[in-house]
Amino acid sequence: MNAPLGGIWLWLPLLLTWLTPEVNSSWWACSQGEVKSCSCDPKKMGSAKDSKGIFDWGGCSDNIDYGIKFARAFVDAKERKGKDARALMNLHNNRAGRKAVKRFLKQECKCHGVSGSCTLRTCWLAMADFRKTGDYLWRKYNGAIQVVMNQDGTGFTVANERFKKPTKNDLVYFENSPDYCIRDREAGSLGTAGRVCNLTSRGMDSCEVMCCGRGYDTSHVTRMTKCGCKFHWCCAVRCQDCLEALDVHTCKAPKNADWTTAT
Ligand SMILES: *[C@@H]1O[C@H](CO)[C@@H](O)[C@H](O)[C@H]1NC(C)=O
pLDDT one-digit tens code per residue, 100-153: 988 888 888 888 877 767 888 888 888 777 788 889 998 999 899 999 988 887
Cα 113 from Cα 12, distance rounded (Å): 43
Query: Residues with Cβ within 6 A of ligand 1?
Result: 198, 200-201
- What are the residues facing 1 on neighbouring strands? none
Pocket test for ligand 1, best of 195, 197, 198, 216 (most atoms within 8 A of CB): 198
The closest residue, in CA terms, to atom 5 on ligand 1 is: 201
Taking alpha carbons only, the member of 102, 119, 121 closest to residue 110 is 121
Q: How far is the CA of 141 from the centre of ligand 1 (A)?
A: 24
Q: Tell me, in angstroms, the distance from the centre of ligand 1 to residue 197's CA.
A: 10
Nearest to 69 by CA among 90, 41, 48: 41
- 45-74 mean pLDDT: 81
> What per-residue confidence (pLDDT) applies to 65?
77
Q: Cβ of 102: how many Cβ atoms within 10 Å?
A: 14
9-25 mean pLDDT: 46
Q: Is the pLDDT of residue 222 over 80?
A: yes
Ligand 1 midpoint to CA 248 (Å): 12
Task: Choose one of 195, 196, 199, 201 to mutate for the ligand 1 pocket test, by most ligand atoms within 8 angstroms of C-beta.
Answer: 201
Q: In 37-57, which positions are buried (b, 16+ CB within 10 angstroms) versus exposed (e)? A: ebbbbeebeeeeeeeeeebbb
Minimum CA distance residue for ligand 1 atom 9: 201
CA dist 80 → 43, 83, 87, 89 (Å): 30, 7, 7, 11
Closest atom of ligand 1 to CA, residue 202: 5
Q: What is the pTM of this model?
A: 0.57
Dihedral pair phi/psi, residue 224, rounded to 5°:
-85, 130
Report which of residues 48 and 128 the model is more confident about. 48
Question: Which residue CA neighbors atom 13 of ligand 1 most closely?
Answer: 198
CA of 198 to the centre of ligand 1 (A): 6
- Using an 8 Å Cβ cutoff, are 96 and 169 in contact? yes
210 neighbors 204 (Cβ within 8 angstroms): yes
